[in-house]
């Protein structure tokens, strides 16, 4: 069986995208999805995304981590699928789609996608870290120098020792300058550091504001794969009108044989 696939990346976070509106893809075949995402024996990607029909919205987003298992919301993947939908002619400059965490809305300006995320009613601020759910669970901790920090080993330890089998994504953050932060993220499901994590970038922005490390409601977050912007409205009952803004790009198109 052959499938046409598209490879997209958003600040280095890369995904296999497939038009599954005909529902032909074996979406319950965990091994097949993991094999496709494998960087040596497959296409290579941080995750796989299926675009499917929706009765009322423009489309449905179905996301899998590179281990082949369905996962929680992926912010960069959400930005990439919006551009994919535009390529398919499903949208023009605006999109409405449903993901695992509910409805999302986006606008497209060239290759820049502004994606509205879900409201975040609570940020748990602890002595040494924050925990919050931005569509995916995130642990956020500040370090002196994120570039030299042992992200893979320390991220793996925190992900497993603190959060157990379900796990959480682990973000290490350093302040670059006023309202600009640098982040490196260890992602569960990928079980390694990725060049960028959209929900992690949102988590970092909200955590920095909640911790009093930022004063603006528009923050610049630098990842190893590029820079993203997060805009939000803070209130006494949490954060709303949260937007993840940044570039996405089609890298190539091909045929995969299962």
State the DSSP string of 9-29.
EETTEEEEEEE-TT--S-TT-
Residue 204's pLDDT band (cuts 50, 70, 90): very high
The number of distinct structural domains making up the chain is 2
Single out the catalytic residue among 37, 80, 130, 197: 197
What is the pLDDT, as a whole number, of residue 4? 98
Alpha-carbon Rg for the chain, nearest whole angstrom, is 17
Structure tokens that stand for 111 in this block: 């290759």
- Based on the domain organization, do 34 and 57 belong to the same domain? yes
74 among known catalytic residues: yes
197 among known catalytic residues: yes
- Based on the domain organization, do 33 and 141 belong to the same domain? no
Nearest to 153 by CA among 200, 192, 196, 195: 192
Q: In angstroms, how far apart are the furthest CA atoms of the chain?
A: 54
Strand boundaries in 159-225, DSSP class E: 169-177, 180-187, 192-194, 218-223
Average pLDDT over residues 161-174: 96
Tell me the residue range of the domain where 102 lies: 2-116+248-257
What is the pLDDT, as a whole number, of residue 152? 96
- Based on the domain organization, do 226 and 138 belong to the same domain? yes
Burial (0-12, 13-18, 19+ Cβ within 10 Å), 257 = exposed
What is the pLDDT, as a whole number, of residue 54? 98
- Based on the domain organization, do 42 and 71 belong to the same domain? yes
- Based on the domain organization, do 70 and 145 belong to the same domain? no
**What is the CA angle 84-77-211, rounded to 5?**
145
Reduced to 3 states (helix: H, G, I; strand: E, B; else coil), residue 66 is: coil
Average pLDDT over residues 130-150: 97
What is the pLDDT, as a whole number, of residue 35? 98
- Based on the domain organization, do 95 and 138 belong to the same domain? no
Q: How far is CA 4 from CA 1, 227, 236, in A?
A: 10, 30, 47
Q: What are the pLDDT digits (tens) for 223-250?
A: 999 999 999 999 988 999 999 999 999 9
- Based on the domain organization, do 11 and 54 belong to the same domain? yes
Average pLDDT over residues 15-34: 97
Structure tokens that stand for 224 in this block: 């190893």
For a pLDDT cut of 70, what percent of the chain falls above it? Answer: 100
What is the pLDDT, as a whole number, of residue 106? 98
Q: How far is CA 148 from the centre of its chain?
A: 23
Single out the catalytic residue among 37, 74, 80, 130: 74
Structure tokens that stand for 149 in this block: 């920090």
- Based on the domain organization, do 105 and 154 belong to the same domain? no
Burial (0-12, 13-18, 19+ Cβ within 10 Å), 25 = buried
Q: What are the pLDDT digits (tens) for 46-70?
A: 999 999 999 999 999 999 999 999 9
Backbone angles phi, psi at 6, to 5 degrees: -125, 140
What is the pLDDT, as a whole number, of residue 228? 98
Average pLDDT over residues 119-136: 95
The mean pLDDT of the chain is: 97
Q: What are the pLDDT digits (tens) for 94-118?
A: 999 999 999 999 999 999 999 999 9
> No. of H helices and E strands in the chain?
4, 17
For a pLDDT cut of 90, what percent of the chain falls above it? Answer: 97
Q: For position 14, which CATH number holds?
A: 3.10.310.10
């Amino acid at each position: 069986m052959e499938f046409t696939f598209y490879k997209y990346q958003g600040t280095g976070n890369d995904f296999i995208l497939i038009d599954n509106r005909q529902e032909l893809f074996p979406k319950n075949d965990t091994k097949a999805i993991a094999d496709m995402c494998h960087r040596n024996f497959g296409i290579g990607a941080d995750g796989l995304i299926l675009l499917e029909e929706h009765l009322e919205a423009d489309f449905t987003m179905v996301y899998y981590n590179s281990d082949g298992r369905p996962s929680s919301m992926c912010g960069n993947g959400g930005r990439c699928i919006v551009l994919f939908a535009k390529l398919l002619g499903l949208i023009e400059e605006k999109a409405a789609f449903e993901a695992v965490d509910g409805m999302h809305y986006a606008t497209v300006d060239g290759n820049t996608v502004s994606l509205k995320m879900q409201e975040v009613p609570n940020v748990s601020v602890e002595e040494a870290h924050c925990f919050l759910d931005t569509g995916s669970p995130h642990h956020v901790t500040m370090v002196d120098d994120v570039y030299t920090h042992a992200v893979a080993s320390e991220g793996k330890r925190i992900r497993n020792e603190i959060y157990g089998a379900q796990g959480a994504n682990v973000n290490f953050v350093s302040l670059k300058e006023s309202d600009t932060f640098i982040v490196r993220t260890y992602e569960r499901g990928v079980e390694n550091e990725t060049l960028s994590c959209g929900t992690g970038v949102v988590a970092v922005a909200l955590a920095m504001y909640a911790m009093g490390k930022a004063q603006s409601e528009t923050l610049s977050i630098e990842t190893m794969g590029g820079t993203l912007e997060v805009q939000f409205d803070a209130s006494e009952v949490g954060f709303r009108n949260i937007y993840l803004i940044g570039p996405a790009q089609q890298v190539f198109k091909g045929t995969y044989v299962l």
